């Protein structure tokens, strides 16, 4: 298999900033159950390994309970701050965003984050809740504590509500996105509004949803490009200009993922994966909040 990789490409956001198209996520495998527990050196070392390998887009969250570990890893990595793209998200304290960002920055040991996201719209009991939260996010950006602001797990209806009063259009929406969950018209809608898409769990078809119709498409492509099927799924995102957020505690696997920068799928190959994915529906996160047949 190929071991070569290139610099991770970047995507320009609607505010003029740019974001690396592959990010290292500190959720799932690195999620810390007890936020009050002492510093987890294993988590710190895992993040430092990712940074050393070239993952300079670091995706964190208040809800992952490991912002302190992420901050220590950033400090100990000795990588210049401007070379890193750091994301965090607000969930538990979304009703008090001004204090939430200050708490996150203190844990991270940073003066600002590159991207700050509302982690989920599920907190909102009214349209006004969504609109007020976004107004608070706009103030965070004005204060300089976040270079870019966006959302996570939003659907078109949440955007339509938010945009009625927004002064700043969200830069990006990070949501579960993979061939088996393409959210119907959400991507075209976001593109029409200039809102980028970021995918978490982009490798779900091979990690949680096998067997499935994309298997027969991925296998020959992996052979053609001398990579594995997970790399093909990351490249599918990149070629659709979707930021792919992945994770692992294993250095070898993280090294392998970077092979997604060393080749490019043809437009037909991207389409073949998309069309095969439409033949199956699988939602790995928040499934209980949706009808089993709801593909939105």
* Active site members: 64, 119
Q: What tokens were used for 153?
A: 């797990």
Q: Which of 139, 133, 127, 166 is nearest to 152 (CA)?
A: 133
| Contact present, 54 and 256 (Cβ < 8 Å) | no
Tell me 224's DSSP state. H
What is the helix (H) or strand (E) element at residue 74, kind and residue range? helix 67-77
Tell me 295's DSSP state. -
Token pair 């389409």 in the structure block, residue: 271
Cα–Cα dist 229/25, whole Å: 19
Cα–Cα dist 286/80, whole Å: 36
Radius of gyration of the chain (CA): 18
| Contact present, 149 and 183 (Cβ < 8 Å) | no
Burial call 149-178: b when 16+ CB within 10 Å, e when fewer? bbbbbbbbebbebbeeebebebbbbbbbbb
Q: Which of 96, 43, 82 is nearest to 65 (CA)?
A: 43
| Contact present, 205 and 277 (Cβ < 8 Å) | yes
Q: Which of 65, 59, 77 is nearest to 38 (CA)?
A: 65
């Amino acid at each position: 298999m190929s071991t070569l990789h290139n610099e991770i490409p970047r995507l320009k956001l609607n505010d003029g900033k740019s974001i690396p198209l592959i990010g290292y996520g500190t959720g799932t495998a690195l999620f810390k159950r007890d936020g009050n527990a002492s510093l987890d050196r294993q988590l710190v070392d895992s993040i430092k390994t990712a940074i050393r390998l070239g993952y300079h887009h670091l995706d964190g969250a208040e809800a992952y309970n490991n912002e302190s570990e992420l901050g220590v890893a950033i400090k100990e990595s000795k990588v210049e701050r401007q070379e890193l793209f750091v994301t965090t998200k607000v969930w538990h304290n979304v009703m008090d965003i001004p204090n939430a960002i200050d708490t996150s920055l203190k844990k991270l040991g940073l003066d600002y984050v590159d991207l700050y996201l509302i982690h989920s719209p599920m907190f909102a009991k009214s349209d006004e809740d969504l609109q007020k939260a976004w107004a608070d996010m706009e103030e965070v950006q004005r204060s300089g504590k976040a270079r870019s602001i966006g959302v996570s797990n939003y659907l078109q209806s949440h955007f339509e509500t938010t945009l009625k009063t927004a002064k700043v259009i969200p830069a990006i929406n990070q949501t579960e996105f993979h061939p088996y969950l393409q959210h119907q018209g959400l991507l075209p809608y976001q593109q029409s509004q200039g809102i980028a898409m970021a995918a978490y769990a982009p490798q779900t078809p091979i990690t949680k949803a096998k067997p499935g119709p994309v298997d027969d498409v991925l296998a020959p492509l992996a052979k053609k490009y001398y990579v594995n099927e997970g790399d093909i799924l990351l490249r599918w995102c990149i070629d659709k200009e979707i930021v792919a957020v992945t994770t692992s505690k294993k250095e070898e696997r993280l090294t392998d993922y970077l092979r997604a920068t060393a080749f490019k799928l043809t437009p037909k190959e991207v389409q073949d994966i998309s069309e095969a994915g439409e033949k199956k529906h699988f939602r790995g996160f928040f499934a209980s909040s949706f009808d089993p047949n709801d593909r939105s």
